[in-house]
Structure formats: C-alpha cells, structure tokens
Structure 1
Amino acid sequence: MNLETIPEEKLRCFSIFDGLTDEELRRVQSKVSVVRFERGETIIAHEARDTDVYLLLDGQVLANRYSLAGREISYRRLPPNSYFGELAVFDGEPRSVNIVAMTEVLIGRLSGPAFSDLMAAIPSISKALLRDMGARIRELSDRIYVTTASSVKMRFYNELIRNAMALGGGDGEIVLKDPPTHAEWAATVGGQRETITRAISELTSLGLLRKQGRNLVITNLHGLMDQVEEV
C-alpha cells in the first residue's frame, strides 16, 4: 500500500472515526502524516516521553515489555485498523509498553496536540474513545482472571479463542494468518515455548487445529471451547 494521504474511506475503518461526517474526516485527514516502519523497528519505546497517536494502516505490530532479567512479556498483537498511543495524550505519562513492527507497517501519525484539538472539536471521537477503553478494560479484567485462575495450557486455549472471535467466530474453519511463533505465544500467556508446542500437538491430534503453510487453522471453535471447559 503506497500512500501519502490517507483516503477518507480508509479513515472510516478506525472505530474512533467511523461516525464522522465527510467534513470532519477531511479535518482529521489534514492532521495525519503517513510513515513507514520496517519489520523489527520500534515505533514506541517503553518510558519514552512523546505523545504521538498512531493509526495502523497496514501490517501488524506487537505491544511488549521486558522484565529486569530480560524476559519478554507480550501483551497483544495489533492488526490493521488498530490505533495506539492515545493514553499519553490524556495523562502525559511515559509510554507504558514498547510497540514493535512485526512486519513492514504503514502508519498514520497524529501529534498529541493535534489529537487533543480533534477531540475538542469533534465530540464523537471522545465518545468512541471512551467506548473502546471500556471494552479494553473488560478484556483486561477477563485476561487477569484467566491468568490467575488457570494453567498455561488453558491460557493458550483462551488466547486462541480470543483471536478466533476477533475474526468473527462462526461454525466453519477460522484461519489465523501468520500467527505468533510458539515463543511469542508463550510470552503472551506467561508460559514456556515447550508447553505451547505440546498444546498445539494435542489440539492437532484431536482434529481441532491444523497447519496450513504459515497459517494456523482452527477447524472447530466450539470443540476448542469444549476443551477449555474440560481443562
């Protein structure tokens, strides 16, 4: 995707701009610059003091941190049409995580002051932000519960289900394109790579999971949910 200016229809793909009028979208469009990052580049550094807000147009990024011992702790992968960096606009605090490009990515960047101006001028952006934040708090509450009340294997199963539901769920096969590596899954759920490898093998032997090139296919989401209940 080669862009110098983000088309209005692309901006509408972001939840915070979905209900804007054409005039409001043009106002947003005028404040966004398009930048590229290569795979492995750091877009936001933990503890950095900048306040830019980012719109992920193409590619995938990972939110992570490292422990004092150097262990990676992964929070989540963000797909296209995600946005990030907005918390620093509200509280002015240092960045809470790293954001790293997992692929080549194309990003729309808004300065913190420009984003503040847009929120003040277009109230629907602030309402959408509050709605999204509420959903994230609920999701984090669920993940804290799963982390404290379940095994690594169950946390991995739940992460598979969360990814499947993000793609719409359904009764048919669900393809997770270019999924995390076993080590990345382990960093996300707080376990060891070997545990993830065994869990994938078990689900494959049960016919609930299969590989398709670099992709991972959940063949029966309801069957996977049943496994969580059994665990």
Structure 2
Amino acid sequence: MSELADRSGTEADSLGRAWSALMRAGTAHTYERGEIMVLAGATDTFVLLLLDGFAKVTTIDDLDTTVLVDIRASGDVVGETAAFDNEPRSATVTAAQHVSVRRISQEEWLGWVVQYQAAGLAVNRSLAHRSRTAVRRRTEFTRGPVISRLCRAVLDLIGQYGRPTPQGLSVRPGLSHAEWGDLIGARERRVQHALQELSAARIVSYSRCRLTVHSVPGLREFAADQ
C-alpha cells in the first residue's frame, strides 16, 4: 500500500486524501514481538494497516512445518483479502518486533475502497504486485546453488527494507538461518554455510540474526551464478 504515496499530480492529491482517511480509520493497536496479528484459518475479516515495525507472514507446508513466505513493513496492509472475499485467512502474520497498526473493520475498509476510487486502484495494484513478486521469488529463490539463492533473497530484502548504517546496509527484520532457509527453500545448515562463505569474502556479516551487507556488487556476483 505504499503505492498511495508514490503518485504525482491530481492522482497524488486524491491518494493523499485517501491515505489520510485510512490513517484515521479503525482503532490504534500494538503487537509485541512474537504476537500473532492474523491467524491462518481464522474467519475474522478485519484489516491491519502497519504504521511502524515489521511482521512475518508464514504458512504451513505439506510436512506440517511453519514456513516463512514474506515480510510486511510500515505502509503495508495485511488481511485485506479476507475482507474482500470472506474466506478463511490463508496465512499467519506475526509481529517480528513491536508493531503499531490501525485495526480496520471489514465494513470500514470496504467503505473506504468505494469512497476513494483512486485508492481502490492502488489496492488492486498492490495485490497484483504482491502476486507478481510471489511468482518471481518462486523462480529466483529456488534456482541454482544455495549461496546464489540466498544472495538473491538478500538483494530483494535490502531493496525493500535495507537501512544504511556506518557498517553497511542492514537487512531488516533480523532473520534466523531457518527463516532464510524458508525463503529460499534450503536447509538451515546449508544457509549457515553460505553465510559463512559470504562473511569470509567480506560481502556480509551475520550475528544474532542480524545481517549487514558490505558489498552489494559482491552479492550480485554470487546471485548471478546458476
């Protein structure tokens, strides 16, 4: 939903009004690290607008294992699909740190989409972008050696959520070896070895689930390997 802030001219004015209205919608709520925000299979229909913090989106695979499939950050909306189709939640969303949101009822969300047509278009764009991203990731994150897939995933996340620091680009939120493995379809031990190799090459550093990128060109070089 950050698309609401990425337009210009008349459309930007319309989206700005829509965004202001959405920021006032619903009620303020906070979640602490590890708290479930949306539960897979639940039949509730509220929508959450993330104002601050990160959340992790997980599903259950065929082996009944929890798998990380995506990350959401401030400006993103979660839960809107259930608000549109009244079907059970398809994934669980968990706070990765302290998260501030606006919790918006289905009625208020649908009313907002109808009232602000430009916003409705932005919502559709956001859903389409999310679908395209999922397809792209299934291709890029599952092709080639583990270290190449990991580098593609890191590049993807720093493009969205990277934060400059004196040491390099910090990847947020912090992910464990297992969670990086979930994203690229690799075992935790293989991810650990890949991170050790990248650290030895001084491309990244990794400690306590915190990954810092020191060389984006180095990442791209490894990512290009098939």
Mark yes or no: TM-score above 0.5.
yes
Counterpart of 2:105 (choices 97, 111, 129) is: 111
Aligned to 1:157: 151
Query: In the alignment, is the contact (CA less than 8 A) between 1:178 and 1:216 conserved in 2?
Result: no
**Structure-1 separation of matches of 2:17 and 2:123:** 20
**Paired residues for 1:184-195 under 5 Å:** 184-195=179-190
Determine the structure 2 residue equivalent to 1:220: 215
Q: Which of 21, 25, 38 is the aligned partner of 2:32? A: 38
* Contact 2:148–2:225, Cα closer than 8 Å, also in 1: no
After superposition, residues 15-34 of structure 1 pair within 5 angstroms as 15-16=3-4, 19=12, 20=14, 24-25=18-19, 27-34=21-28
Distance 2:206 2:150 in 1: 17
Partners of 2:162 and 2:178 in 1: how far apart?
A: 25
Q: CA deviation at 1:89?
A: 2.0
Output one character per residue of 1:149-198: Cα deviation in whole Å (capped at 9) or x when no partner.
Answer: 3343332121111012224799x932224520112111222221111110
Q: Distance in 2 between matches of 1:160 and 1:175?
A: 10
Q: Does the C-alpha gap of structure 1 residues 29 and 228 become closer, same or farther in structure 2, counting only changes over 3 Å?
A: closer
Tell me the distance in 1 between the aligned counterparts of 2:36 and 2:210: 25
Name which of 174, 177, 197 aligns with 1:182.
Answer: 177
Deviation at 1:215, TM superposition (A): 3.4
Q: What amino acid is the match of 1:149?
A: R
Using the size of structure 1 for normalisation, the TM-score is 0.83
Rounded to whole Å, the distance in 1 between the matches of 2:18 and 2:219 is 43
Counterpart selection for 2:44 from 47, 50, 59:
50
User: Are 2:191 and 1:203 aligned?
Assistant: no
Shift of 1:45: 0.7
Q: Secondary structure at the match of 1:149?
A: coil
Write the distance in 1 (CA, Å) between the matches of 2:209 and 2:190.
20
Please, which of 74, 80, 83 is the counterpart of residue 80 of structure 1? 74
On the 8 A contact 1:17/1:125 being kept in 2, the answer is no
Q: Cα RMSD (Å) of the superposition? A: 2.6
| Partner residue in 1 for 2:56 | 62
In 1, the alpha carbon distance for the partners of 2:76 and 2:38 equals: 15
- Give me the whole-angstrom Cα distance separating, in 2, the residues matched to 1:230 and 1:25: 42
Matched residue count: 218
Q: Distance in 2 between the 1:133 and 1:178 partners?
A: 22
Identical positions, percent: 22
Deviation at 1:67, TM superposition (A): 3.1
**TM-score calculated relative to the size of structure 2:** 0.85
| Correspondent of 1:93 among 87, 102, 116 | 87
Residues in 1 aligned to 2:172 and 2:140: alpha-carbon distance in whole angstroms: 24
Post-superposition Cα deviations, 1:88-115, rounded to whole Å, max 9, x if no partner, equal 1222211110001111211111111111
Residues 34-54 of structure 1, C-alpha deviation per residue, up to 9 Å, x if partnerless?
011222111111011111111
Paired residue type of 1:191: A
Q: For 1:107-146, what aligned pairs fall within 5 Å after superposition?
A: 107-146=101-140
